[in-house]
A and B are shown apart, each in its own frame.
Chain A
Amino acid sequence: MRLYATVAAGGFRRHATYRVATLAGLFTNTVFGFVFSYTYIALWAERPQLGGYSMSDALAYVWIGQALITVCGLMGGGFEDELIERIRTGDIAVDLYRPADLQSWWCAANAGRSAYQLLGRGAVPLLIGAAAFGFTLPDGLSGWAAFLLAVALGSFVSFALWYLVAMSAFWLLDGQGVVQVAWLSGLFFSGMLLPLTVFPGALGEIARALPWAALLQVPADVYLGRYGDGRGLLRAYGFQLGWLALLLAAGRAAQAAATRKVVVQGG
């Protein structure tokens, strides 16, 4: 356990060194936040209460989305490129020799990265957006705590998803195609472009049931207090935990199969 705590701290520190990149990312998130905010204002002015959100809720949703892009890996987990490269070049063999589990190792490193991004690229856009548009805030300290827990779970679900994507490189070697498909699904089904509650009919129901909903839609709805009493909140966490368990298990199975393959090939 101490090992993984060290790995997580390393992940945090490593990303904390890219200060200019963090600032550049912050700037980009803020610009997109403004552009999306104005289009949402136009949309909600035409259709108040669209998707069950007030205008103030919708604006909060925009900035939560911008804040969570890197934290919950909506458009890429932030580690899969490196992992795929290690698989492609064969460096992964070194990782497999380590007296640590591959999945847990990367999970810990990603948790550190995620925590840094929450401070570096998550908090500030949310503050700027709140100052510029004065949107809905969570219900007191317990509301913030509930939101942060949902964000943490979302970040782990994202890890599990992207780890599974990276594992495909063992078979395909060139992971680019799969990464792009995953990126595309994340972009659309996380609800980053438009809240999943606005998606019509069956498309909306499917989108809300897919794992990507756990990355942004669920944390945002927890933030907005849309799950009501404790039981609703537990259901939301249950949804995230369910996908987390399923995806982690799938990733583990893929890893086991891949390891056997590596041994056979590596000879």
Chain B
Amino acid sequence: MAEQLLSEGATTGRLRTGDPYRSGPGDALRTYRMVAAMWIRSTMAYRTSFALTLATSFCVTFFDFVVILLMFGQVQGLGGFSFAEVAFLYGTTGTAFGIADLTLGSLQRMGRRIRDGSLDVFLLRPAPLLAQVAADKFALRRLGRVLQGLMVLVWSLVLLRDEVAWTWGKALMVPGMVACGAVIFMAVMVLGASALFWLQDAAEVTNSFTYGGNTLLQYPPTVFAQDLVKGVVYVVPLAFVNWLPALYVLGRPAPAGVPSWAAFAAPLVALVCCGLAGLAWRAGVRSYRSTGS
């Protein structure tokens, strides 16, 4: 049914319903805002439940950090990095990933929607598909992760106040890397969601790059095997989320023989990732065949 409408719309140009890549970014943002606002209103109907889930979301990520605290209770440094430096790595990736998770975390549910056929409903609406799916069941509680990441980041900056020779470039690098990092994580999420059009059950593979990448980036690159580090520089460019810019801020050499100017390439990398994710998404939507139920 949806397929039929889709092809009809494409040929006649009259029915634009469900044709997600014909509309501008303004459309997408408006749709996202509307759907997200609706879910926030519905969440706020159960305020106690919301407060509880927000608190747990905060704690889940906080326990992540407790592990690092417990580790540093036993040792002075990890891979040659001090506590403040590891906290800086943790805070930057945690905030970037938190922002990406808050905005696009719902994409994970898409596999289920493809399987049970409820994605067709989205295709029928005259609004961009990606924005609809991304805002579907928008969970404001994910703000807990952002807050926790920010708290650790601020704490690490207080600790690093005198250790780092701050310049304007370094100071601007901190918000810049969080923003670019969030965009890179978002691109990975969209890429993963695109794969779901072909592999409906594979949502967990995305987790290894998003959650797994986040965990990886919390620790200094000196801890890991150099091949693994090269992999996140050249293959899945997660190193640009925080490792490369953070090492520049901390005044340390870049890992895996990467030139130090690469720290400034993060915006470009983020842009390329977005382009690739966009292409993958279009290819995915085109190949979508409804379950027909």
Question: Which residues of A are interface residues toward B (Cβ below 8 A)?
Answer: 18-21, 23-25, 27-28, 31-32, 34-36, 38-39, 41-43, 46-47, 50, 174, 176-177, 180-181, 183-184, 187-188, 193-194, 198-200
* B201–A20 touching, CB < 8 Å: yes
Given contacts A20-B202, A24-B204, A27-B205, are A43 and B75 in contact (CB under 8 A)? Answer: yes
| CB < 8 Å neighbour of A32 from B52, B208, B225 | B208
Lowest 4 A-B CB distances belong to which pairs?
A21-B201, A31-B208, A24-B204, A177-B52
Distance between B34 CB and nearest chain A CB, rounded to angstroms = 24
* Residue contact B56 to A38, C-beta cutoff 8 Å: no
Judged by a CB distance under 8 angstroms, whether B4 is at the interface is no
| Contact yes or no, B204 A193, CB < 8 A | no
C-alpha spacing A47/B78, complex, angstroms: 10
Cα separation A148 to B157 with both chains bound (whole Å): 47
Instruction: Kindly state the separation between the CA atoms of A46 and B52 in the bound complex, as whole angstroms.
Output: 38
| B 184-221 binary contact with A (CB < 8 Å = 1; else 0) | 00000000000000011111110110001001100100
Q: B46, B49, B203, B225: which contacts A24 (Cβ < 8 A)? A: B203
Evaluate contact between B228 and A184: CB separation under 8 angstroms.
no
Q: Which of B53, B70, B200 contacts A199 (CB 8 A)?
A: B70
Q: Is the CB of B59 closer than 8 A to any CB of chain A?
A: yes
Q: In the complex, which of the residues B46, B60, B63, B199 contacts A174, with contact meaning CB atoms closer than 8 Å?
A: B46
Main SS of the interface on chain A? helix
What chain B residues lie within 8 Å of A32 (beta carbons)? 208, 212, 215
The CA-CA distance from A41 to B202 in the complex, in Å, is 30
Please, which residues of chain B bring their CB within 8 A of the CB of A200? 70, 73
Residue with the highest number of chain B CB atoms closer than 10 Å, among A19, A35, A181, A193? A35
Decide: A38 and B71 in contact? CB cutoff 8 A.
no
Choice from B60, B76, B224 contacting A38 with Cβ under 8 Å:
B224
Could you tell me how many residues of chain B have their Cβ less than 8 Å away from some Cβ of chain A?
38
CB of B271 within 8 Å of the partner chain: no
Complex contact A177–B201 (CB within 8 A): no
A20 to B71, CA, bound (A): 36
Question: Which residues between 235 and 288 of chain B lie within 8 Å of chain A, taking CB atoms?
Answer: none
Q: Looking at the assembled complex, report how far the CB atom of B107 sits from the nearest CB atom of chain A, in whole angstroms.
A: 15
Query: Inside 8 A of B77's CB, which chain A residues have their CB?
Result: 46
Chain A residues with Cβ under 8 A from B202's Cβ?
20-21, 23-24
Among residues of A, the one whose C-beta sits closest to the C-beta of B195 is A24
Interchain CB contact under 8 A, B49 and A27: no
Cross-chain contact of B219 among A19, A21, A25, A39 (Cβ < 8 A): A39
Give the docked Cα–Cα distance between A23 and B207 (Å): 13
Given contacts A43-B75, A187-B63, A188-B66, are A35 and B212 in contact (CB under 8 A)? yes
Cα separation A177 to B60 with both chains bound (whole Å): 13
A38/B228 in contact, CB under 8 A: yes
Interface string of B151-181 (1 = CB under 8 A from A): 0000000000000000000000000000000
A42 touches B70 (CB 8 A): no
- Distance, CA A200 to CA B6, complexed state (A): 60
Supplied contacts A39-B223, A200-B73, 7 more A-B pairs, CB within 8 Å: A28-B212, A32-B208, A32-B212, A34-B228, A35-B215, A42-B78, A50-B74
B64 within 8 A of A: yes
The residue on B at minimum CB distance from A36 is B215
| Contact, CB under 8 Å: A194 / B67 | yes
- Residues B200 and A20 in contact, CB atoms below 8 Å apart: yes
Interchain CB contact under 8 A, A177 and B204: no
What residues on B are CB-neighbors of A25 within 8 Å? Answer: 204
Closest to B73 in A: A200
Q: How far is the CA of A46 from the CA of B73 in the complex (A)?
A: 12
A38-B228, A177-B53, A181-B56 known; A28 and B208 CB under 8 Å? yes
Q: Is the CB of B73 within 8 A of A194?
A: no
Residue of B nearest to A204 (CB): B70
**What sequence of 0s and 1s flags, for each residue 67-93 of chain B, a beta carbon within 8 Å of any chain A beta carbon?**
100110111111100000000000000
Whether A180 contacts B56 in the complex (CB less than 8 A), given A42-B223, A187-B63, A193-B64, comes out as yes
Is there an interface contact between A188 and B74, defined as CB atoms closer than 8 Å? no
